[in-house]
Amino acid sequence: STVNNVSNLFELFSKILYDADLNKKEKVAILFNEELSLLKISVPSHGHLYTNMRIKGRYSPLSFIQEKLYGIASFDKLESLQKQLDDDWDALLARMENVLQTILSTQADGMVVNLTGDKNGLKSVEKYAKEFVTSQLQTSKENQLTVQNFREVDHPWASKAREEMDFHGIKDETVIVSTQVSYNGKGGLMWKEGEKVPGSAQVVKGFLENGYLWDTIRVK
């Protein structure tokens, strides 16, 4: 199982990070083309998901970052990166190498490692994850990283995301896509940031999504 071989797994992570050769223009071009092709197929057929992601991105740093990475915003970014690949490969390569070095250096403060498993499994994996973040990903022992609890402290990306959210503001938007269906969305906050959300909210959310929005609004 993965838990029994977790030490080998983190060794593999280290090998990928430290032995990576990013100077592969043709391979990078293939990856960009694949991502753009998937987006061009996905947006017209799953417009409701991208609309929802775009709206949610207005109201929380996490959703804003997710939209930048996987939403409509990622399409423009991929196109600009693809253009830079064609026009100035050396500059793009330098950017990618800078990202890799940031991950490997002490500037990676704020890294999140997601682990899923049962209680005993997570307990046995925890020490390897901490060692990976605090010992293997650093430039010097003098600047050793610490494992932070982002339930208690703000993630470094959050403040930057809030700045961009304030700059862009909340406004009506239209995205033109070649599709037979128009996707319309409207959203707002039910709870303010920091408020505790009761578990019953998930039950109500499920009812509204399926029992009301689909059966009443969509079908009827």
**pLDDT tens track for 162-201:** 999 998 888 888 888 888 888 888 888 888 877 888 889 8
- What DSSP string runs through 118-130? -HHHHHHHHHHHH
Tell me which residue has tokens 């029992």. 211
Query: Could you tell me which of 32, 41, 43, 56 has the C-alpha nearest to residue 175?
Result: 43
Helix (H, G, I), strand (E, B) or coil at 6: helix
pLDDT at 34: 95
| Closest listed residue to residue 56, CA positions, set 150, 212, 189, 174 | 189
Instruction: State the CB neighbour count (10 A cutoff) for residue 193.
Output: 9
pLDDT in tens, 50-74: 999 999 999 989 899 999 999 999 9
81 and 115 part of one domain: yes
pLDDT of residue 125 exceeding 80, the answer is: yes
42 and 15 in a common domain: yes
pLDDT over 60 at 108, yes or no: no
Residue located via tokens 């128009």? 182
pLDDT for the residue 106: 57
DSSP string, 68-85: HHHSHHHHHHHHHHHHHH
What is the average pLDDT across 140-169? Answer: 75
pLDDT on residue 138: 59
User: Does residue 206 share a domain with residue 128?
Assistant: no
In this predicted structure, the answer to whether residue 114 has a pLDDT above a threshold of 90 is no
- Based on the fold, state whether residues 203 and 94 are members of the same structural domain: no
Residue 220 above 60 pLDDT?
A: yes
Q: Output DSSP code: residue 5.
A: G
Q: Which domain holds residue 214?
A: 190-220
Do 179 and 202 lie in a common domain?
no
How many domains is the chain partitioned into structurally?
A: 2
